[in-house]
Chains A and B, each alone.
Chain A
Amino acid sequence: MLKANEIALGRLMAADPVLVDVKPAHEVLEGLTPTTFLHAGPPIAFQDMCPPMQGAVYCALLNEGIARDIDEARRMAADGTITYKPCHEFGAVGPMTGLTTWSMPLWVVEDRATGRRSYANISEGSGVGLRFGEYSQRTLDRLKWMREVAGPVFSQLLHEIGGMDLAPMMAQGLAMGDELHMRNHAGTALFVKNYAWLIARIAGPEAENVLKFIGVGNDQFFLNLAMAANKLAADLADGVPGSTLVTAIARNGVNFGIRISGLPGRWFTAPSPMVKGLYFPGFTEADANPDLGDSAIMEVGGFGGCSMITAPAIVKFLGAASVDVARETTEAMYSITLGEHPRYQIPALNFRGTPCGIDIMKVVETGVTPILNTAIASNRAGVGMVGAGMSTLPIDPFVEALKALAQELGI
């Protein structure tokens, strides 16, 4: 292994993520302004965004009180009022459209050793929501409730317990049948199991609503916490000169992009692939948006497709024919990763560590590319999730990243 990759992988694996707070985005994201809107994936202009992301921008304009109605939101979204930036460039990640703006409450995850922080928004729960580009009054009301009620409850909870260690919860989630990208039933259940008693006291008359918000129709509640934890690990591993370790995979619904440790801040992009999977009744591939969301940070950290064999229960949900697909997917990911995570283990593989640290050298050499477990979003704003499946990434950005690093190193 390259020395640079030993260093980068060591930092990735040494991350010790602790959930310490929930704060409004403007209090924690350096450089954020009221008119800076963050989105999933690599950089993109408003007019090039997919319909769900444009819908999410309208929703955010209304939610922040910048636009008074949808007509004004449509105009302001495109007239230069708003600056659009990737979440990743602010230390944050967001599932699906990933829209993150000034007042939104964010999970704050801190590395115990270095104090470095990362951020993710809070899963909105059942129904469609901002993340799928819905801008209904129901969505706006829920965002307000999350900002004014749920966020402060979670913040007080975290203060009272002195922070929540996420690594043991993620490890236990794997052991309980999550792969932590498309299956977070266990992680979410652990959150409720461990802290319902305290939420009941802190939230008072809102306790029923807060517990219902987490526990009913919000199976991916834990995903956002795990995403922030993996963003933290990836950012800790970023910026090692000469390293070929992948530190970001993200999709904006039009393009997907990767970043590598040895070339911090640079995106290498290609068109987002269509996701192969299973569609909900009434939907077909004609309804699907190309791959979308920052949640591929889970595969960067060795979860999701990398750890698919931990979650045989989701194989059919993702449209795969048999559990063999899960086993083969995890085995393929071992062929393009640098190590096996000592803290995150796969019981079905005799507690072998998860395949961790995607290496562009191995991807280019073998032709095997990362496989993401993912939701399939509708290609229309406000419709929501239309299916789930597996997304095999095209190789071109990995090749381009390798060539760029070679140029940087004078090879």
Chain B
Amino acid sequence: MFYREAGDFSTSYPEDSQTFPIKFDRYRYYLVLFIAIVVIPFFINDYWVNSLFLPFLIYAIAAIGLNILVGYCGQVSLGTGGFMAVGAYACYKLMTSFPDVSMVILVLLSGLITALVGVIFGLPSLRIKGFYLAVATLAAQFFLVWLFNRVPWFYNYSASGQISAPERTFFGIEITGPNTQAWATYLFCLMFVIASAYVARNLTRGSMGRKWMAIRDMDIAAEIIGVNPLRAKLTAFAVSSFFIGISGALFFAIYLGAVEVGEVFGIQKSFLVLFMIIIGGLGSIFGSFAGAAFLVLLPVALKIVGVDWLDWPTDIVAHLQLVIVGGLIIVFLIAEPHGLAQLWRVAKEKLRLWPFPH
């Protein structure tokens, strides 16, 4: 009834090719933005920010990044944790070397550095394909984590081998360190999330995105019709690593504050982000958000139900969580291999005809 194209006439090309061509969709998007920017900051406290909002926002950026590589360009990567670590350590080195530069610039620079590293590790993708490539990206994962563990220069020769974020401000408001306000960190991350989603969405529907998708669907055929596989694959690696680097930098500087690389950016993190985009939907920006929200909410919800309501020991709940996450992934793959994003698409199709489907 509300969600329909009828009566919504485009009179110019920009109008016709906008991201949300349906009016209802567009207003919903503005409403979500309004709530996220204006309403939520007034109602959040430290608990909500640290257990839900920050992880959700930061993982959403990482998921968007990985989705560009895996979902749009079809190059399976298991090195996400390693690339997040690059972002985190780049941010740390930059923060300590240039204390006066704005955090926004530093985070973006960390992204750029990660993009460079991503391109280097993406080079073999020209020769290696499919599972061989997935396993090859594990080389990046293990090598990078080892590097940050073993070379003291990266953690400024600190005795513990950890890195911890010094206090930094943004327009006079503290955003890193122990004395931050919940709303400040939330808004800082939100800014990056909105920018990432905007850039990613427009990249993927432009010519670059089409090239990526052509490579994903069949790289030889794409090469024949004139897509340069070298450029397409390496740009996918670069853009993807850029977002992942940003998320790693935020994860370290804003969310955790102190990081031990093997623990935080281990292979588990790679799998977690991969699960997010599978559950959310490969090749979908909305799917990245949905998957991130799902996998951030699930453990919190399970903990509330298991530990707080049923009063079970925490280790049993932790094991149950593994069982449920694993089971859910299998169920999802069987029921809907294209993830939450596909459910959303189906719902939208239904909504278009509702309430008179015939």
Physical interaction between A and B? no
Task: Please report A residues at the B interface, Cβ cutoff 8 Å.
Answer: none
